[in-house]
Amino acid sequence: MTALLSLSGVTAFYGAIQALRGIDLTVEKGEIVTLIGANGAGKSTLMMTICGSPRARSGQIIHEGQDITQWPTHLIMRRRIAQAPEGRRIFNRMTVHENLLMGAEVAGRADTADGLEQVFTLFPRLKERISQRGGTLSGGEQQMLAIGRALMSRPTLLLLDEPSLGLAPLVVRQIFGAIRDLNRTTGLTVLLVEQNAYQALRLAHRGYVLVNGSITMAGTGSELLARPEIRAAYLEGGHT
Amino acid sequence: MLSVSGLIMQFGGLRAVDDLSFDAKAGDITAVIGPNGAGKTTVFNCITGFYRPSGGSIDLAHPGGASYPLHTMPGHRIASAAKVARTFQNIRLFAGMTVLENLLVAQHNTLMAATGFGVLGVLGLGRYRAAEAAGIEKAKFWLDAIGLTARADDPAGALPYGAQRRLEIARAMCIDPVLLCLDEPAAGLNPRESDELNQLLMRIRDGGCSLLLIEHDMGVVMRISDHIVVLDHGKKISDGTPAQIRNDPAVIAAYLGEGEEDEVPV
Amino acid sequence: MTALRDAFLSALVALGLFAPLVGLVTTSGEHGLSLELRPIATAIVVGLVFFGRLVVLSRRGRTRTETTQANRALAERVTRAGKYVTPILLVAAVALPFTGSRYYIDLGTLVLTYIMLGWGLNIVVGLAGLLDLGYVAFYAVGAYSFALLATTFGLGFWTCLPLAGIFAAFAGIMLGFPVLRLRGDYLAIVTLAFGEIIRVVLINWVSLTNGPNGITGIPRPTLFGLAFSMDGGPGTFADFFNVEPAVIQRIIFLYYVILGLALLTNWVSLRLRRMPLGRAWEALREDEVACRSLGINVRNTKLTAFGIGAMFGGFAGAFFATRQAFISPESFTFIESATVLAIVVLGGLGSQLGVALAAIVMVGGLETLRDFLSFLGDQMDSPLFSGIASELPLYRMLIFGLALVVMMVLRPRGLVSGRTPSVALHKVKDIAPDLVAQGRG
């Protein structure tokens, strides 16, 4: 069987700095896979490289049997891959509604009512703000909007870069719950980057540990959770 | 020390902050928490002069006795005279300037006066040289405190995320504030980094600067706050010590949610 | 194969574009205008595009990162070379009058005027990040201040020079106030309008400025009171040094005056950059909101940038007036603002050396290109090139424009991009241009 997404020997650079040093990674259909690692380990770069920006310098990225390594970003995104990028990147001068419609636009879908309803069920807050401009939302609301916009394209593969950033604990729980539900009911495949490694590993089927642009460990979520070195490096907040 | 009373902030038809009153005591770490869009950052923007409040008052009393009505002061005076510093939710460093330069820009007003407002400095007269040396010393102190001495000459934009967060705090501290307002300082930090942040914040408090903190990371809030104010829809719904807040049903319903902190619903 | 097809398509586009532009020429014959075909010239241009495209495609094999790295390596070489370029340029600038060639000294004076204007504008655009499309206004204010003060009150150049600078600085602050809250495109439009307003006022306020006729009889500068006059009478330069009076003496003197003024501009800019004020300008370009949160008075900081930038524009204007001895509003059109801005952008925002190089290229290069093309035309006496050779100099602007486009494609952040920190704890390391903000106004 072929994986939904597989990376082999992928390297990427930001300017002169090598951010990824030969990444091998697979995501099977219907899986939730998480990437954990310190700030600056290359997690976000890996997400962006899958989307073709920056382009991988060497190695291969295969999506549904197709080599997309050298594809331009906009074509990659049309393969029902959606991303809620780091830094939100919402359209500041468009309303919440327009932002969400833009998400559906990318996938070329005319039927958006279901998508909107799904997003509003997940984030009732966005429904309250539907005609407000994106730029006037609070930070956390913008994060909700970025995730909602990604969901609007009805992706088969969802790339989430720190979805919990700036969100209230209650909402974080809702989001993690929603990811699990979507995964169970619709078979949505998710690649997740998250600082909160504990929650991420509990949610994910499998996880990869990224250190300095290389994968140093891989395993199921519970396996990784049990490893003492993981606990020491990413889970425990020290000893205050 | 900081006393907010009857604060109202209206944007068109939207009332982002609605008759909010709270006090922050000198030498305390006061946390402001609440659901997304509750108006926390708006309150910060009113305190630090980025918004002019539609109503109510914000008064700051310095330990020395001087008092400043922040709601009527222009933004840059709040930093330079009332000595209120802040950081931003989406880090706002001078990315193309070095770490050291960032810390020197923060001392602009002190250094500027030493250059005779530019004139003497250009001519090489006056006491600018000494003032700059003192400025660099202060910068060194904070670089040491945040562990970035080795990267002093690197551009701020090239630092890893966690280091940028720390640098922003150090930069704010370089204006010698009596009140430091932090907008989600732990966002995007891993547990280890948030722990370092806790240490830094407590060190700042022990140095005599009061802190006002917006944060969603309960690990940070509950561990270091002396006092917590909870907002929802622009109103205060609770106010008290961490222990009180943790068990307040209204806060649990609106913000914390049921169950263990780290629990994921299955 | 695909490369050949691609190049062929490019050539086809070029043919469509250049067939009417280059291939057809109207000549006035016996029966009025007649159309003449020039297949060879067209073929040359289309051929150039074809082979140019092939070369570009053959380099396509390299990935973007490699190209970036190559650019970075080049930038590093430029930076290293920069250490030698500055002293070499300085020595060349000082030595230029010893050539004794009036043509070169005049050209040098012109280039230096633009270097000075570029350095002045660099404070506003490069450091503070405020896009100013009306810089010529301050040049005009300086020129007219000097001209009017000199012709009305009989004041000399050296008395008027600071006054002209002060008037221009005031104009800068006057412009600064209404545009404080504007950014980017809006700021650019308002400054553009300001430049035009000043020019229109100069044309229409006839009682003061003599309108479109301009002001004549502007006095020349003196060397510590020694005039450069041709009569060689007592109190003149020629008399004092006991030499034959000659026009070249004044030309050389004027050259050194502008060299001094330009170096003053450079010196002040470099000093200010290492002062809190200069750092505040750069911080403003990087993030205005953060500046406010640190207690920096954004309004005053912007106004000082406008004011000091304008002051140097005013100095340059006063020099222009005294050099020409005649000024009229025609000298202060938008194209001057555009040229100076182009010099700053091409040089690399914020880079003093870049601005100097860009001014040499833009002003000196254009002149040299004219000479070169005439020379080339003279060499092509083969009948094959008949008709093109004599017109070659007319393509000057086309070639020059193309060169600018190519240069900006290769070095999008200017000749000398990147930023040198103003202070260092351990060691000064240059900052890559992609981190440095370009300012949004």
- Give SS3 for C327: strand
In this prediction, residue A199 carries a pLDDT of: 85
C434 touches chain A (CB under 8 A): yes
Q: Cβ A137–B37 below 8 Å, yes or no?
A: yes
**pLDDT class of B263 with cuts at 50, 70, 90:** very low
Q: Cβ B118–C423 below 8 Å, yes or no?
A: no
H or E stretch covering C168: helix C157-179
> Quick check: bond before A54 cis, omega within 30?
yes
H or E stretch covering B23: strand B14-24
In this prediction, residue C24 carries a pLDDT of: 79
Distance (Å, rounded) from C-alpha C428 to C-alpha B237?
Answer: 52
- Phi, psi for residue B20 in degrees, rounded to 5: -95, 130
DSSP per-residue codes, B97-139: SBHHHHHHHTTHHHHHHHTTTTHHHHHT-TTHHHHHHHHHHHH
Q: What is the pLDDT of residues B181-220, one digit of tens each?
A: 999 999 888 888 888 899 999 999 999 999 999 999 888 8
The mean pLDDT of chain C is 86
In this prediction, residue B6 carries a pLDDT of: 93
Residue A239, pLDDT > 60, answer no
- Min mean pLDDT across B154-163, C192-201, C237-246 is at C237-246
CB C124 within 8 A of CB C130: yes
Q: What is the pLDDT of residues C401-410, one digit of tens each?
A: 888 888 888 8
Q: Cβ B118–C275 below 8 Å, yes or no?
A: yes
Residues of chain A neighbouring B232 (CB-CB closer than 8 A): none
| E strands in C228-312 | none
Q: Cβ A13–C434 below 8 Å, yes or no?
A: no
Residue A104, pLDDT > 90, answer no
Please tell me the number of Cα atoms within 13 Å of B65 on its side-chain side: 0
Distance (Å) from the C-alpha of residue C312 to the closest C-alpha of chain B? 15
Distance (Å, rounded) from C-alpha B85 to C-alpha B99?
Answer: 18
Residue C419 DSSP label: B
CB B18 within 8 A of CB B235: yes
What would the two tokens of residue C234 be? 């007592």
CB B220 within 8 A of CB B5: no
Distance (Å, rounded) from C-alpha C227 to C-alpha C230?
Answer: 9
Residues of chain B neighbouring C421 (CB-CB closer than 8 A): 97-98, 100-101, 153
Nearest C-alpha neighbor of C434 from the set C421, C420, C417, C422:
C417
Percent of chain A exceeding pLDDT 70 equals 94
The interface predicted TM-score of the complex, written ipTM, equals: 0.91
Residues of chain A neighbouring C72 (CB-CB closer than 8 A): 15-16
Q: Cβ B100–C424 below 8 Å, yes or no?
A: yes
Q: What is the mean pLDDT of residues A194-222?
A: 89
In this prediction, residue B259 carries a pLDDT of: 58
Nearest to C295 among B79, B88, B132 (CB): B79
Q: What is the mean pLDDT of residues C89-105?
A: 89
Residue C72, pLDDT > 70, answer no
Distance (Å, rounded) from C-alpha C43 to C-alpha C167?
Answer: 55
CA distances from B194 to A38, B34, B163, B197, B208 (A): 12, 19, 11, 5, 21
Distance (Å, rounded) from C-alpha B211 to C-alpha B202?
Answer: 9
Distance (Å) from the C-alpha of residue B132 to the closest C-alpha of chain A? 33
What would the two tokens of residue A161 be? 């870069």
- C 373-402 residues with CB < 8 A to B: none
CB A189 within 8 A of CB A31: yes
Determine the residue of chain A that is closest to C70 in CA distance.
A16
Q: What is the pLDDT of residues B27-84, one digit of tens each?
A: 999 999 999 888 999 999 999 999 999 999 999 999 888 899 999 998 889 999 999 9
Determine the residue of chain C that is closest to B104 in CA distance.
C276
A74 touches chain B (CB under 8 A): no
Distance (Å) from the C-alpha of residue B33 to the closest C-alpha of chain C? 22
- C 80-99 residues with CB < 8 A to A: none
- Give SS3 for C422: coil
- Give SS3 for B223: helix
- Phi, psi for residue C427 in degrees, rounded to 5: -150, 135
Nearest to B97 among C286, C297, C298 (CB): C286
In this prediction, residue A238 carries a pLDDT of: 42
Distance (Å) from the C-alpha of residue A13 to the closest C-alpha of chain C? 7
C377-380 long-range Cβ contacts below 8 angstroms, 24+ apart = none
Residues of chain C neighbouring B137 (CB-CB closer than 8 A): none
Distance (Å, rounded) from C-alpha A165 to C-alpha A171?
Answer: 11
In sequence order, which residues have a C-beta less than 8 Å from that of residue A232 and are 6 or more positions away? Answer: none
Q: What is the mean pLDDT of residues C112-136?
A: 94
Distance (Å, rounded) from C-alpha B209 to C-alpha B179?
Answer: 6
Residue A196, pLDDT > 50, answer yes
In sequence order, which residues have a C-beta less than 8 Å from that of residue A89 and are 6 or more positions away? Answer: A146
Chain centroid to CA A69: 18
Instruction: Return the number of CB contacts < 8 Å for A and B.
Output: 113
Nearest to A55 among C64, C72, C434 (CB): C64
Distance (Å, rounded) from C-alpha B62 to C-alpha B83?
Answer: 9
Q: What is the pLDDT of residues A16-60, one digit of tens each?
A: 778 899 999 999 999 999 998 887 788 888 999 999 888 888 899
Q: What is the mean pLDDT of residues A130-152?
A: 89
Distance (Å, rounded) from C-alpha C254 to C-alpha B25?
Answer: 68
- B 108-167 residues with CB < 8 A to C: 108-109, 111-112, 115, 117-118, 121-122, 124, 128, 132, 136, 139-140, 143, 149, 152-155, 157-158
